[in-house]
Chain A
Amino acid sequence: MSIFDMTRRNLMALTAAALVSSATAQAAKAEETIKVGVLHSLSGTMAISETTLKDVMLMLVEEQNKKGGLLGKKLEAVVVDPASNWPLFAEKARELISQHKVSAVFGAWTSVSRKSVLPVFKELNSILFYPVQYEGEESERNVFYTGAAPNQQAIPAVDYLAKEEKVERWVLAGTDYVYPRTTNKILEAYLKSKGVKAEDIMISYMPFGHSDWQTIVADIKKFGSSGKKTAVVSTINGDANVPFYKELANQGVKATDIPVVAFSVGEEELAGIDTKPLVGHLAAWNYFQSVDTPDNKAFIEKWKTFTKNAKRVSNDPMEAHVIGFNMWVKAVEKAGTTDPDKVIDSIVGIKVPNLTGGVSEMLPNHHITKPVLIGEIKEDGQFDTVWQTDDLVAGDAWSKHLEGSKDLVADWQTLKCGNYNTVTKKCGS
């Protein structure tokens, strides 16, 4: 028995006491607040896009608390950093649900991160709100897709180009991963069903982080000089668009000759480039910062005050989080509890106003109704809405244009199934 041993024993006792006290403190706190998990990368490659969404969630939670919280309790945001690391997304999701006991999680950006957390949400039966436009072909009981499905973004954009710009030749350019591959497969099938010939469609993929666009832009120029009007449908991953646009501008490809419509370029991405050469190129989203509605104005005002930055821009996935959060709040109020099973049942059919002047509804397939807006890039890096759908478009979990998926429907209310086959009348395709 030396002094050394004594101190060590004391130390252990102390640590144990500290642990117990912190655990009880946490337990006491958990009774007082409802926790909301925020699962967005704050470091690594995806931080460029996801950090903003974390800020939006913090603002929404703060605002809800100003209104008196939820079910008489204060909301508390639990922020974790999955660091753009896909397996870490699953670990952090598990940490949020089992350790922090959050009632719902708002998060993920890339499809691969969503796929990585899916099993965790199923196993632990929690709720994920996913705010980004994605490739569709999925419907899970525990996930609510508040971003656009392909029929809420890609298909209307192609329709617009064919109708307004009289486009006959199509370049489908994308980064080589699941979202562009699936979207382009759907688009190719759709274009062919509209009578576009195979030789009028060029599909090309580039690796992640591709920065040398000379050959591809030259190819597009060549493909576009056949005499038929040509457009580029870009599913190029957000960040890689900047060098792509720079190369387009340098090689003199103007929007009036070959317009590029992008599905991953929003106000945030444009904030980092000189947009003058890009004027007239297009983007298809469900929200633009420039949309002139009282709701949107109020939101932007709040956002700028919250971030203390008058230049901060807003974008589509942010609106998706606003809609998702408001839907969840309403569903919890309706169910009178944050119990995931009850909320999953009560949220279908919930309607909340979106920021573009309409009312979005949560559908039984866990997608929502949204308007589709086509915008042209302006000199100031904002978008000018040049076209929009008359009505809100209901999101399709399963594309009507793909073999093998067109017979599937998702309905978590009556069928209780994410992939019900209408031909074989069986759940599970």
Chain B
Amino acid sequence: MRVAILAALTPSPFKVHFMNILRTILRAFVLLLGMASAALTGPYEEALPKFANDSYADTDTAIGAVASSGNPLSIDVVEALRDGRLLIGAGQVFIRRVSGELTNAATGQVWGNPAGELKAVRVNNRVRRSIEAALGSLTLLSADAAKRLEAAHAVFRSRDEAVLPTLEKAIAQEGQTHVRNALENARAAILLSKQDALPMQRLAAIETLRARGDQEALALLSNLPSNAPPDVVAAAGKAAAGIRSRLTFWEAVQNVWYGISLGSVLLLAAIGLAITFGTMGVINMAHGEMVMLGAYTTFMVQELIRSQAPGLFGASLLIALPLAFLVAGSVGVLIERTVIRFLYGRPLETLLATWGISLILQQGVRTIFGPTNREVGTPAWMSGALDIGTMSLTYNRIAIVVFAFAVFAILLLVLRYTPLGLYVRAVTQNRRMAGSMGIRTSRIDALAFGLGSGVAGIAGVALSQIDNVSPNLGQGYIIDSFMVVVFGGVGNLWGTLVGAITLGIANKLLEPYAGAVLGKIALLIAIIVFIQRRPRGLFALKGRAVEA
């Protein structure tokens, strides 16, 4: 356009007159443009400078004004603010595009390198909430279904009555069922708390929320506005009662799931001990430190991946598994060869020696890696949660449950079907006879101890996802591990499985009623009583092996 005008303006004698006319027109045009832009200085342009005030209250009001201004740039501004890309400097507001390009927030035009330093507009929780609500109202009609869904959730939370017309429009044109559901939920939430809503609308809203049936719906239904007519109140009360009984059921399911999840952690921590203590009879107080070594191996692997091959991060835990097994396993073999083999049959000395080893390992790691926690990241596929009914199963817990059972199954197969497993069972059942049959018992001892330690190392990889990776990591698990193995029955892998899951579920069923502290105490007392009755645990070994 501009090029065309310039071309027309190319000097030429017989065009001078024409040019003058053109100039006048152009001038008028520019003037008009200026007037138009002055007239355009609406709420959007007025709100922008408020971002530069460095006050949360001003930023908050500016967001509201920008969002309701209808300016096409407002989504960009609010999104930039959310991501820390809204910059201020020299009294002006800029948007740093995701591409790195700098644009003027007022005009949307590309801006060169501004003189002076640019600072990001600061946000706090209050501002973040406003951003979320603003984006909710702005992106309700977005072309991206995921954004629409997010917007619906945001509106459900903000309950902004001003959004209602846009919301109606969004519902009318929504093609995807789950998004429409979310939008209808949002509408119901607004209508229920809206002062001048019709009883009909409210009853429909109550029906929608009853179908939603979660904690938030219950909260909405139990906080009706005071002017609600009696039939609405009655309907809400009925719907709330229905939701409550549904929630009670899901809560029970959730507690059982938490129990299984805790049980799987206990199983992972204890399963290595089931071999070293359960079948070999070594009271290995350094077992927790093997778990810790596994967790630190994960840390090392992730550090390497971060610096060398960031693309592999998603697979970092899988890569860490065999390495953790090797590291912890070889440390286990080393401990067995240098210390424990001289102490077989002397449980008290073994206990003291391995406890000393655990202190040495802890302090060693502390010296090398420092006393502070190390950051082990969670791969994307393990973050987030799966919603079933009203409970949310977090992916990392699901992964750990699956992983724990897989490790258990593999270990069971190794002990049952491999030559190593055969030798280990033979040696633990009758050492002298196994020796007479040509099995090198001392080598088997070392390998079995290495196997148990290696499995503990693998457990460390999983536990690094839910606990601190610090030198003290192992200490937290050693008591629980012994508890599981003793409770389940020494020398029996199945006992360890049943023991771990039972303790996990019992703990989690007790916790909501007794609290975390009393629940744990109650469980310990129960185990003491149980061991008094059945000293050999749930699954006691029978026969001559017991005395060996």
Contacts and interface: CB of A to CB of B under 8 A. Distances in A.
Nearest to A48: B371
Contact of B520 (A207, A274, A386): A207
A273 B373 contact: yes
Contact of A255 (B125, B219, B392, B469): B125
Given A243-B467, A252-B392, A255-B125, A47 B371 contact: yes
B520 A48 contact: no
B363 interface: yes
A44 B396 CA distance: 29
A268 B516 CA distance: 27
Interface in A403-419: none
Nearest to A259: B125
A329 B371 CA distance: 30
Nearest to A240: B468
A125 interface: no
A206 B392 CA distance: 22
Interface string B510-533: 011001110010000000000000
A92 B359 CA distance: 20
B472 interface: yes
Interface in A239-287: 239, 242-243, 246-247, 249-252, 255-257, 259, 268-269, 271-274, 280, 282
Contacts of B392: 251-252
Given A211-B467, A215-B511, A272-B372, A43 B216 contact: no
A221 interface: yes
A7 B30 CA distance: 111
A256 B516 contact: no
A242 B377 CA distance: 12
Nearest to B473: A211
Interface string B368-403: 001111110110000111000001101111000000
A363 B340 CA distance: 58
Given A176-B517, A250-B385, A251-B385, A274 B258 contact: no
A48 B472 contact: yes
B222 A227 contact: yes
B119 to A, nearest CB: 12
Interface stretch (B126-134, B170-178, B329-337): B126-134
A374 B230 CA distance: 45
B468 A386 contact: no
A211 B366 contact: no
B452 interface: no
Interface string A214-244: 1110110110011100000000000100110
Interface in B14-67: 56
Contact of B371 (A51, A221, A274): A51
Given A216-B516, A226-B219, A274-B378, A211 B466 contact: yes
B254 interface: yes
Interface string A71-114: 00000000000000000000000000000000000000000000
B466 A246 contact: yes
B495 interface: no
A225 B219 contact: yes
A42 B222 CA distance: 54
B476 interface: yes
A209 B469 contact: no
A280 B394 CA distance: 21
Contacts of A269: 373
Contacts of A252: 384-385, 392
A164 B126 contact: yes
A145 B395 CA distance: 45
A271 B220 contact: no
A221 B395 CA distance: 18
B372 A48 contact: yes
A340 B520 CA distance: 46
Contacts of A176: 517
B56 A386 contact: yes
B511 A384 contact: no
Contacts of B255: 215
A225 B215 contact: yes
A165 interface: yes
Identify whether the interface residues of B are mostly helix, strand, loop, or mixed: helix
Given A242-B373, A250-B385, A219 B125 contact: no
Contacts of B520: 207
A51 B370 CA distance: 9
A280 B373 contact: no
B401 to A, nearest CB: 12
A272 B469 CA distance: 8
Contact of A165 (B125, B132, B366): B125
Given A176-B517, A212-B262, A222-B215, A256 B375 contact: no
Interface string B393-417: 0111100000000000000000000
Contacts of B265: 212
B310 to A, nearest CB: 15
Given A205-B516, A243-B466, A47 B383 contact: no
A256 B123 CA distance: 11
A243 B396 contact: no
Contacts of B466: 211, 243, 246-247
Contacts of B362: 43
B517 A209 contact: no
A272 B374 contact: yes
A274 B374 CA distance: 10
Interface string A33-61: 00000000011110110010000000000
B372 A250 contact: no
Contacts of A164: 126
A210 interface: yes
Nearest to B466: A243
B133 to A, nearest CB: 10
B529 to A, nearest CB: 20
A221 B215 CA distance: 9
B360 to A, nearest CB: 11
A214 B468 contact: no
A273 B375 CA distance: 5
A376 interface: yes
Interface in A305-335: none
A193 B235 CA distance: 37
A116 interface: no
A247 B31 CA distance: 61
A214 B469 contact: no
Contacts of B383: 249-250
Nearest to B371: A47
A344 B124 CA distance: 43
B468 A242 contact: yes
Contacts of B516: 204-207, 210, 215-216
Contact of A206 (B258, B475, B517): B517
B363 A280 contact: no
13 contacts: A43-B366, A205-B517, A209-B476, A214-B261, A226-B222, A227-B223, A239-B373, A249-B383, A251-B385, A272-B372, A273-B373, A274-B378, A386-B124
The 10 tightest CB contacts between A and B, nearest first, are A272-B373, A250-B394, A227-B219, A225-B215, A47-B371, A206-B516, A227-B223, A209-B476, A214-B258, A386-B124
Given A211-B467, A239-B472, A272-B470, 9 more contacts: A47-B366, A212-B262, A215-B512, A243-B467, A252-B384, A256-B129, A273-B373, A384-B124, A386-B56
